[in-house]
Structure 1
Amino acid sequence: MLFLFVDGLGLGGALEDLFPFLLDLSPAPLDATLGVEGLPQSGTGQTALLTGENAAKLLGHHQGPFPSPRLRPLLRRSLYAWAKEKGLKVLHANGYRPEYLRRATEGKRLLLSAFAQAASLAGLPLLPLGHPLALPPGFWEDPYGAGAKAAGLARAFDLVVLEYWALDLAAHRHPESLPERFLELTLFLRGFLAEGGTLLLTSDHGNAEEPWHPQHTRNPVPLVYTGRAGAFPRELTGVFPWLQVVLTCKMLKSDRNT
């Protein structure tokens, strides 16, 4: 399975024009507000996705872009840690520039996303760009080929996680480039699905679906899953326990077939 996390993707706004391919995949809506006033943010939203815990309520506010130290105990019990404990082969597929990792980890503040922190806390490596198992986090020269590579990785691992943050970056800083980013995502997804892989796609908050302003939104975010599953969760905190059930069922089915 590929868990493609797309930072800053909400449902509504101009999405029908910007990203029609996503709507063809019949996304279910997830409430990203976490029951807290204000605009959802990446640090608390991603932590909620990965742990099933309401990080915004714990802090008393939405917080981003990077999780505060108070959220690290939650991230120690993330999807990555659970999957490893269950004996699953897990890959955090993002490739990082070495100079970026030095800046992000050697200063007074840890400038890593919740996904990167959770992977590292679970003992998974943060791979350098160019590693054979790594994918750039967007801006792919060949998006279709990158999707096909992701499908190959998903066949080799039980769970592959890729964090695509280029969309949120474009929405904040370069909204004129959003059509290019949405086309890139479309081609990536086409390349992945053409190889027959199972896809899970979701986000932490809305942003790019309303390109006429640079702020986050309170719109629901999409949940796409191309495998078989029961009822979908309705909010960010429901994704982790739902995914535990999905992956456990896949493990049981695999055991029966061996």
Structure 2
Amino acid sequence: MGRGVARYDPGVTTLFVFVDGVGAGDRDPATNPLARGDFLLSRFADGGGAPLPRGGRAALADACLGVAGRPQSATGQATLLTGENAPAHLGRHLLGFPNAPLRALLQERSLFRALAAAGRRGAFANAYPVAYLRALGHAADGAPEPALAGSRRRARAAATTVAYAAGGGRFRTLEDARRGEGLTHDLTGERARGLGVSLPRRAPEEAAEILLRLAAGHDLALFEFFETDEAGHARSMERALDALGRLDAFLRALVDGLGPEDALVVTSDHGNLEDLSLRNHTLAPVPLLGFGRAAAEVEQVRDLTGVAPLLLRLAGADAPAGGQPRRTTLATSQSRSP
């Protein structure tokens, strides 16, 4: 059992925390908030960074993928979630939300689809408004949140929602988050409360407990955090340090709560936050962190295309070329202890 965070299931779980917009930059605290503290994601262009707890290991993964231009969210996330070189598939990097060709790629090659085909179970911890899910055509229990009823923002599917839907899983709502069975994107629920939604105020460590609990009985559980990318685009050191502080407390609690055979993978889709002198994304490689059974494998990943195969191996659903997953029994001799 970890120190400070309870374990809820004796089974083996792989956790995947996707953090938007964090690259490995220079050690310059004037422009790089990651150089202002020993965050787990404080990885730098020279390959260095603070030691990781519980035998964790770090690598740097290329996000450019041989395609000219700055890496972008739609193609980077599609690559992470399929193992396919999405910018090469599209012929360019695509920002924001996936277009029709990327949605088709995600629906066909999603790691959650491969997981389901292998008879394994996946979970997506992020909670969404009922109206948003229904606007995308997904089933959602309960009534739409009154506080959000007047929103005129067009509902657009992110890569994560398309990839998860391809596996047939149930999406979580803000009511799930209220009951402690899902997580808001900011971990604490502060943003939803600011819009008038009634949610409890959660500490990052409590959010980690919730993720560990809801992951129980699943082979792979995903959580997406995007406030880092927002802070990078805003060029705000204050917002960046606030987001990193919450995220780091959450990640450390997750590491602390890992069971002896569990795995945790943390990575990003492109650089941004590590250079606040720019408003745009960067060409930097992204940190790739592995804990538990993932620690011994992350150093073999060279670019974003290697993340989905790694996650499927760890979840016992290896997918070879051709997209037909096979059941896999993983060796457990690589587990880490405090």
Q: TM-score, normalised by structure 1?
A: 0.89
The answer to whether the 8 Å contact 1:19/1:183 transfers is no
Give yes or no for the alignment of 1:59 onto 2:90: yes
After superposition, residues 205-244 of structure 1 pair within 5 angstroms as 205-228=270-293, 229-230=296-297, 231-244=299-312
| Structure 1 residue 61 displacement after superposition | 0.9
Q: Which residue of 1 aligns with 2:73?
A: 42
CA contact (8 A) 1:31 1:221 kept: yes
What is residue 133 of structure 1 aligned with on the other side? 181
Residue 124 (str. 1) matches residue 169 (str. 2): yes
Q: 1:172 to 1:99 in 2, by over 3 A?
A: farther
User: Matched residues in 2 for 1:38 and 1:110: separation?
Assistant: 28
Q: CA deviation at 1:40?
A: 0.4
SS in 1 for 2:229: helix
Per the TM alignment, residue 53 of structure 1 is displaced from its structure 2 partner at its CA by 1.1
Q: Which residue of 2 aligns with 1:185?
A: 247
Give the % identical residues: 38
Matches within 5 A, 1:81-96: 81-96=113-128
Q: Provide the residue aligned with 2:258 in structure 1.
A: 196
- Partner SS state of residue 288, structure 2: strand
Are the structure 2 counterparts of residues 237 and 21 from structure 1 closer, same or farther at C-alpha, using a change threshold of 3 Å? closer
- Mean Cα displacement is larger for which, 239-248 or 62-71? 239-248
Alpha-carbon distance change, 81 to 116 in structure 1, aligned in 2, over 3 angstroms: same
> Which of residues 74, 95, 102 in structure 2 aligns to 1:71?
102
State the partner residue of 1:252: 329
Worse-matched range after superposition: 33-42 or 11-20: 11-20
Report the counterpart of residue 16 of structure 1 in structure 2: 35
Residue identity opposite 2:173 in structure 1: P
**Partner of residue 166, structure 1:** 227
SS in 2 for 1:27: strand
Aligned to 1:3: 16
50-59 or 242-251, which deviates more: 242-251
Cα offset, 1:19, TM superposition: 5.2
Structure 1 range deviating more: 186-195 or 126-135: 126-135
Whole-angstrom distance in 1 between the partners of 2:175 and 2:289 = 29
Q: RMSD in angstroms over aligned alpha carbons?
A: 2.5
TM-score, normalisation: structure 2: 0.69
> Is the alpha carbon distance of 1:17 and 1:64 closer, same or farther for their aligned partners in structure 2, counting shifts above 3 Å?
same
Does 2:33 align with 1:33?
no
How far did 1:137 drift?
A: 1.2
Write the letter of the residue equivalent to 2:253. Answer: G
**In the TM superposition, what is the alpha-carbon distance from 1:222 to its structure 2 partner?**
1.0
Checking the alignment, whether the CA contact within 8 Å between 2:187 and 2:207 is kept in structure 1 is no
For structure 1, which segment, 223-232 or 73-82, has the greater mean C-alpha deviation from structure 2 after superposition? 223-232
Change beyond 3 A, Cα 1:18–1:178? farther
| Cα shift at 1:121 | 2.3
For residues 187-229 of structure 1, the C-alpha deviation after alignment (integer angstroms, 9 at most, x for no partner) is: 1012212212531101100111112322111100011111234
SS of 1:28's equivalent? strand
Query: 2:132 and 2:115 mapped to 1: Cα distance?
Result: 27
Higher share of residues assigned helix: 1
Q: What do the CA deviations read for 1:129-188 (whole angstroms, capped 9, x no partner)?
A: 131431111151311110122122233321100111111122223623111000001110
Which runs of 5 or more structure 1 residues have no equivalent in the other structure? Answer: none
Greater Cα radius of gyration, structure 1 or 2:
2
1:111 aligns with 2:165: no
Structure 2 residues not aligned, in runs of 5+:
1-13, 27-31, 42-48, 139-151, 189-201, 319-326, 333-338
Q: Is the 1:148–1:194 contact (alpha carbons within 8 Å) kept by the matching residues of 2?
A: no
Q: CA deviation at 1:238?
A: 1.6
Cα distance between partner residues in 1 of 2:166 and 2:330: 29
Deviation at 1:254?
Answer: 8.8
* Cα distance in 1 between the residues matched to 2:308 and 2:86: 13
Equivalent residue letter for 1:34: L
Q: After TM superposition, what 4+ stretches of structure 1 lie above 4 angstroms from structure 2? A: 102-107
Taking the aligned partners of 1:251 and 1:150, their CA distance within structure 2 comes to: 25
Q: Does the aligned pair in 2 maintain the 1:19–1:182 contact within 8 Å?
A: no
